Structure formats: C-alpha cells, structure tokens
Structure 1
Amino acid sequence: MHIMLVDDHSLIRSGISDSLAKHYPGIEITEAESSKAALSLAREQSIDLALVDLFMPGEKLFSLVRELGSRDMDIPFIVLSSSDNPSHIRKCIDLGALGYVPKSSAQSELFAAVDRVLAGGTYYPSPALQAHQPEPAADEEPVSMSYGYNEVENILTARQMEILELIAHGQTNKQIANNLGVSNYTVKVHVSAVFKALGLSNRSQAAILGEKIGLSSQVTGN
C-alpha cells in the first residue's frame, strides 16, 4: 500500500507518517509539502491513497482538492483539516473527496477512514454528512437507470466511465486492475465512486446500466 501525505508542516507530516507506519506494517509513505509537489508525485508514482491538507499557504482554498478530484487524476483521497466547518466538508465531498478527517480527531478515526476508503467506501465526520448523497432504498430503482449514454458521461469522470464499461463486461475488480494497470485498492475506490455518483446500490445495477447505454458492446482489453 502506497500513501501520499500532503501537508506544509513537517512536524505534522512526521507524526502522521509515524502513526501510519506503526499501524500498517510495510506501508510505503511519500510526503509532499506543497500542492505542486503533490501533483507532480501523483503523476509520476503509483499511489493508492492521498491524505491531503485543506489549507495550504499561498494557495487558494480547495485548489489541491479540486485538482485531485478532476478527470486527469486517478487517486482516491481523504482530506485532513483543522476545520470541521460543515460547508468545507460538503465542498470537499462535492469535489470528489472520499473521506474527511478533522485534525482534532483521534488516530483511530484516521485509521478508520483509511480502512473504509481503501475498502471502497467513504468516511465523513457525521451521520448527516454521510447522508450527503443518500443511496436509494433497496426496492427503489435509481433514477440513473433511465439515463442514456450522454447523461452518464456527463456525470462520471473519464476513468469512472472506463470502470463502468469493464463492469458491464462482467470483469472483477482484480481483472479491472490488471486491465488498467492500477491497484485493487484504486479500483475498489473508483467502483464505489461510480455507485455513489449514479445512486447505484450494487454491481448488478452498474452492469445493467452499462449494458443499457451500450458499454458492453464496446471492445475492451483482456
């Protein structure tokens, strides 16, 4: 497991790195002290998860979060911040953060967030925020099941469209990881993001939707 830790304070990076190394033996941790360094590392290295500070000196608020959540990036990330302002948390969620942990939290909360996101889930500070994008009831068909190709393409990132296409072809997470040259952790996170963005509750719905909009008829790698 390779984690990138982004924070402008070296003491904070050191403390978090030590805690992660003790809790996850064998983990690889790469540190970055600026958004520029983080984005450079993100493009050069294979990273399973990024832990990023929200407030970086000399940079606009949410700038790094916005970059990591863009179509060009392929890294799941959790925001670590001194702010527990609900508007900040919701903005990070809207920009693609799969987790948010206030720096005042106990170490156990950080570990719980890392475990949850790497397992394909999300982690936010309160039940109200976890319900920011509620899943449909089990007996209720998601609205997205009636969408066409263009509507789905406008909702998902380019990478998420690739994931949905491979799900429509019946591929497992391991097969998808091999096809795309990424880790299983990364695939799990992207699958979760696809479900969340489209309001889907399971893989079957994703496969049916992908087939409905023609993704299963497209040629893909083995």
Structure 2
Amino acid sequence: MKDRIKVILVDDHAVVRAGFRMLLSTEADIDVIAEAERGEAACQLYLEQQPDVMVLDLSMPGIGGLESIRRICNRDSNAKILVFSVHNEMVYVDRAMNAGAKGYITKNSAPDILVTAIQKIAGGEIYIEHGLTKNMPLQNSETDYQTIVDTLSPREFDVFLLLAKGLTAHKIADELCLGYKTVANYGTQIRSKLKVSTVAELAHIAMVLGMMKN
C-alpha cells in the first residue's frame, strides 16, 4: 500500500483549517498530521513532523508566510510547500516561488484543486493554479518560446525542465551528475535566452508548451 501524504495546514483562521482538514479527510492518500496558526509555529512543526507537504497561507500574524517559506527552505532544500492564499496577483506568486514554494493556488479555486496540487507537489512536481498562469505577464509576451527552447542544447533543455519543475540547482546537479556552478551557469543562460527571471515564469513557459501538466 502506498504511503499516505503527510500534510501540515498553516492558516491563522481556525475555521479555514477545519474546512481544509474536513476536505482532505475524504482523500484516502492524504493525512493531515498537524496544524499551525502562525509562521513561527509552522517552522517549528515542520522540523518536528517532517511533512511531505505543508499547505500555508501568506497573510498571517508574526513573521508571515513568505518569511516562513524562506526559513523552512533554508533549513531543508527539499521542503515542499504549497501556498493557499486569497491573493491572485502574480507578484505574490513570484515572491512565493522565489522564496522556495513548490506550488501556488488561491482560496477561490475549486476544492479538488487543493487535492490535486498536494498530490502533484508530493510527487515532486511544481503546481501553479491554471487561472494564474493563463494571464501571467511575461516580460516579452510576443517572444516565440518554442523557437527559443528548440535552440537550447540537450543539457540546457534538461536543466530547463528540471528548473521548471521546481528543483534547486543543487538537486539538478546531483540528478544530472554535473557541478553546481555548471548548473547555475546553465540556469543563467536559459533565463537570459527566454528573457525571464523567475521559476514561476519558467514553469509557465513549460506548461504553455505542453511540457508539464497543470
């Protein structure tokens, strides 16, 4: 039997956490193991419980969601954090993904989106709610991304896909048996060619080109 996905819920509203817990309790492969209402407690709980996925709100008292993501990811580069927020502006998505989150959905999304996002992220994928990426303001929207991707070397293409999936440069270096600096240089070249600067933008391009499922 496949192991259940261990989830920690972080939101400063108890009624919201209760709703999340009730929804997820109907899923055979998901187990809510703990809850927190502030970022400080979330950081401590993460270290103690080692969840497969942490579902976290951005707007909380104390250090808040973004700083919580940074602190957790600084301690564990493999941390899988899904942001579940009322904010649907891309500036929040970019900041959350750059802080280390592996996914972003809004609280207006359909209930099954939360379940899908948790399952995808637990499986090592990145997940950004489709409605958010659909209108994502890329710096050069007229750019023919397929043409640029086609010019990437085989190694650059490998690195592009792994970056789009949310892997860190260190993880990519291990997976491709390359040096960290080599991977970092590839990443810089890829972002320069595609004229983007964030992981969310790379993920969006990969999704638009049909290289990743949303």
TM-score by length of 2: 0.62
Structure 1 residue ranges (4+ consecutive) displaced by more than 4 angstroms after TM superposition? 128-132, 142-145
1:49 paired residue number: 53
Distance 2:127 2:46 in 1: 22
Q: Which residue of 2 aligns with 1:177?
A: none
1:74-129, Cα deviation, whole Å (9 max, x unpaired) = 42101011111111111111111111111111101111211221222111132355
Q: What's 1:140 paired with? A: 152
Deviation (angstroms), 1:130: 11
Whether the aligned pair in 1 keeps the contact of 2:83 and 2:101 (CA below 8 Å) is: yes
Contact 1:55 1:81 in 2 (8 A): yes
Over aligned residues, Cα RMSD in angstroms? 3.5
Partners of 2:113 and 2:76 in 1: how far apart?
29
Cα separation, partners in 2 of 1:58 and 1:129, compared to 1, 3 Å: same
Q: For 1:120 and 1:77, how far apart are their aligned partners in 2?
A: 11
Unaligned runs of 5+ in 2: 140-144, 160-166, 179-198, 204-214
**CA 1:121–1:82 in 2, change beyond 3 Å: closer, same or farther?**
same
Aligned to 1:182: none
> What is the identity, as a one-letter code, of the residue corresponding to 1:140?
L
2:26 matches 1:16: no
Structure 1, unaligned stretches of length 5 or more? 148-155, 170-192, 198-222
Q: How does 1:56-205 map to 2 (within 5 A)?
A: 56-60=60-64, 62-72=66-76, 74-124=78-128, 125-127=132-134, 129=136, 137=149, 140-141=152-153, 161=170, 164-165=173-174, 168=177
Going from structure 1 to structure 2, the CA distance change for 1:130 and 1:77 (only over 3 Å counts) comes to farther
Give the TM-score, by structure 1 length. Answer: 0.60
**Contact (CA 8 Å) 1:67, 1:73: kept in 2 or not?**
no
How many residues of Structure 1 are paired with residues of Structure 2 in the alignment?
Answer: 162
Do the aligned partners of residues 90 and 30 (structure 1) sit closer, same or farther apart at CA in structure 2, a change above 3 Å counting? same
> Cα 1:122–1:162, aligned 2, differ >3 Å: closer, same or farther?
closer
SS of the aligned residue for 1:27 comes to: strand
